Amino acid sequence: MIKLSFYGASQEVTGSCFLLDDGKNKILIDCGLFQCPKFCDIRSRESLPFDPKNISALFVTHPHIDHTGRIPKLVKDGFAGKIYSTYPARDLAELMLKDSTGVMMKEAKREGVPALYTEEDVDRAMALWEGKNYHEKISVGNFNVTLYDAGHVLGSAMILVNNKILFSGDLGNPSNPLLSGFEEVAGVNTLIVESTYGDRGHEDAKEKKIKLERVIEQSVARGGALMIPAFSLERTQELLWEISGMLKNKQIPNVPIFLDSPLAIRATEVYQKYYSYLNRAYVDQKTFSFLNLPNVHPTLATEESKKINGVPNPKIIIAGSGMSTGGRILHHERRYLQDPKSTILFIGYQAPGSLGRRIEDGAESVTLFGEEIPIRCHKEIIYGYSAHPDEATLFEFVRDKSDTLKKVYAVHGEPKSSLALIQKIRDYLGIPAFAPKYGESVII
Ligand SMILES: [Zn+2]
C-alpha cells in the first residue's frame, strides 16, 4: 500500500511536489516554487506540509523552477537525504536555482521580507544531488525508481516508481528538433500526468516554422525590432537553431540576433556540453555550436546588453524572462512596445497575472519601471514552440498506456485544462481520471 499526496501543481501550473509513502520510506517527486502571481509566491514561504527530516530521497524531473524552486528551502528546513536527477538536469538546476535566488532576493527586498533562501542553501542542496543515467535503477528502501526521457528540456525525466507508478513531469513537444521526444514506458497502472495544454492544440513542426519565418519577414520589412520573451531552457535553444537554419538557407533577410540573457547563454553552454543527449537525427555534431552560429550575438555583460539599443533596427532580441516577469526583456519592452514598427512574439505559456499574459490578452498599456507604456507594436503568438505537448499528443500519451492503466491523475494545468483532459480520458478510454486538489491524498 502506497499513499500518494499532492502538494503542488494541483489544478494549477506551479509548485510541483508529490509525496509517496510506503509506510517505511517517504520519497518526494519534485519540490517546485509556487509562482503565481509573483515569482516567489506567498505559498512558497509557508512551511512544507510534511517534515523534511523524514523524507528519504527527492527525485527531480527537470530543472524548471516550478519543479525545483523549493529544494533549497527543503534542505534548509532539515532534509538530508539524496537528490537524484539526470546529469544535465543537475547542471541546469544549479544554474537556474542560483539565478532565481538573485531574482527572489530582489523581490524580497522590494517587499521588505527576508529572502526564502540564499546561494549557500543552493550549494548545500547541490552537495546532496547525484546525477543518474536514464534507465539506471535507483533503490530507496523498497522503492525502485527509474528515469525515462521526457523530451521536455535537456535531461528532463519521467519518473517510474516500482515499475508501475509513472510521474510524467513536464512532457516534451514531439515537434522539437533538438530532443528525441518522450519515451515509451510499459506496464504503468497509475499515471500522474501534466496537463498544461489539456484543452488546446498547437501548430505542428512545419506550420510553426512557416509562421516564425513569416513573423520575422514582416518584422524586418517594417524595419522594427522583433522581441521574443523566451524561457532560457529549450525555447531559446530551439529558436536559435531554427532561426540560424533559416539564415543559412537564406529564407529570411540577414539580421542580427541578440541572445540577451546571461542564464540562457549559460544554459546553452550546458546544451553544448551534453551534446549526446540531443536528437542526433537532426543535430550535426560538427557544426553544432549554438553560440557560434552566424549572426548570433550573446550579450553576457550588462554593458553589452545596453549596446543593443544603439544597433539600428531591424533586429531580433531573444531575452528572458519568458513571461516578462523580470529580466532584460523588460528593458526592450519599455523601448519597443510603443513602436508601431516593432513586434512582440509570444512562443510560450503565459501564466495568469504575468505581464506577458496581460499583453497577450490585449492590454492597451502596461506599467514598466513606474512608467505607463502604451502598446502599439504588433503582437504575434506561436503556440507550437511550447515545450509541452498539445491536447492531442497528451491524450495519445495516455492512450498508449491504456492496456495497463487503472487510474490517471491530471496535474500541472489550470483547472479548465486538467478537467478537459480527465473528461476525455473518462469518455474515450473509460479509465477513472481525476484532477486532485492541493493536499489531497490517495492510496494506490
Ligand atoms: Zn517544465
- In the reported structure, the alpha carbon of residue 384 is separated from the centroid of ligand 1 by a whole-number distance in angstroms of 15
339 alpha carbon – ligand 1 mean position (Å): 32
Give 169 Cα–ligand 1 centroid separation in angstroms: 8
Residues 126 and 224 reside in one and the same domain:
no
Statement to judge: residues 365 and 396 lie in one domain = no
**Sheet with 257-260: strands ordered across:** 296-298, 257-260, 315-319, 225-229, 343-346, 378-381
> Stretch 21-34: mean pLDDT, rounded?
97
pTM of this structure: 0.90
One domain, residues 65 and 128? yes
Centroid of ligand 1 to alpha carbon of 403 (angstroms): 28
| CA-wise closest residue to 253 among 221, 210, 290, 293 | 221
> What type of residue sits at position 58?
L
Residues 102 and 232 in one domain: no
Expressed in angstroms and rounded, the spacing between residue 4 Cα and the centre of ligand 1 is: 21
Residue 380's DSSP bridge partners are 345
Same domain, 136 and 53: yes
Cell for 117?
Answer: 533562501
Closest C-alpha to 175, from 356, 382, 413, 321? 382
Instruction: Tell me the pLDDT tens digit for each residue of 326-369.
Output: 889 999 999 999 999 999 999 988 888 889 999 999 999 999 99
User: Rounded to the nearest whole angstrom, what is the distance from the C-alpha of residue 110 to the centroid of ligand 1?
Assistant: 27
Cα of 395 from ligand 1 centre, angstroms: 18
Return the pLDDT at 139: 98
Count the domains in the chain. 2
Q: Looking at residues 94-104, what average pLDDT do you find?
A: 93
Q: Which residue has the higher pLDDT, 238 or 16?
A: 16
The answer on 396 and 343 residing in a single domain is: no
Q: How far is CA 196 from CA 137, 164, 319, 380, 404, in A?
A: 29, 23, 23, 20, 24
Q: Which of 385, 402, 429 is the last residue of a domain?
A: 385
Domain of 268, CATH number, reads 3.40.50.10890
What is the CA(38)–ligand 1 centre distance, in A? 17
User: Could you list the residue range(s) of the whole structural domain that residue 50 is in?
Assistant: 3-200+387-443
Q: What is the pLDDT of residue 326?
A: 83
**Residue among 292, 291, 283, 336 nearest 312 (CA):** 336
Please check the confidence at residue 312 and state whether its pLDDT lies above 90. Answer: yes
Q: Has residue 284 got a pLDDT over 70?
A: no
Please tell me the distance between residue 427's alpha carbon and the centre of ligand 1 in angstroms. 28
Q: Please say which residue of 385, 416, 433 terminates a domain.
A: 385
Cβ contacts of residue 280 below 8 Å, gap of 6+? none
CB 356 within 8 A of CB 166: no
Tally of CA atoms within 13 A in the half-sphere of 23 that contains its CB: 4
Q: How far is the CA of 170 from the centre of ligand 1 (A)?
A: 5
Specify whether 77 is located in the same domain as 222.
no
What integer pLDDT is reported at residue 42 of this predicted model?
Answer: 87
Average pLDDT across the chain, whole number: 93
pLDDT digits (tens, 9 = 90+) for 192-245: 999 999 988 888 888 899 999 999 999 999 999 999 998 888 889 889 888 988
Average pLDDT in the 422-439 region?
A: 98
403 and 380 share one domain:
no
- What's the average model confidence in pLDDT over 400-411? 98
Q: Do 288 and 347 reside in the same domain of the chain?
A: yes
Same structural domain, 379 and 391: no
Residues 34-83: tens digit of each pLDDT: 987 778 888 999 999 999 999 999 999 999 999 999 999 999 999 999 99
Report the pLDDT value the prediction gives residue 285, as an integer from 0 to 100: 57
Q: Indicate if 212 and 233 belong to the same structural domain.
A: yes
Between the CA of 218 and the centroid of ligand 1 the distance, in Å, is 31
Last residue of a domain, one of 339, 356, 385: 385
- C-alpha–C-alpha distance, residues 375 and 385, integer Å: 24
DSSP 3-state helix, strand, coil percentages of the chain (rounded to 5)? 35, 20, 45
Quick one: what percent of the chain has pLDDT higher than 70? 98
- Note whether 214 and 170 are same-domain residues: no
Cα of 311 from ligand 1 centre, angstroms:
33
CB of 6 within 8 A of CB of 30? no
- Give the pLDDT of residue 286: 54
- Average pLDDT of span 96-101: 94
Predicted pLDDT at 442: 98
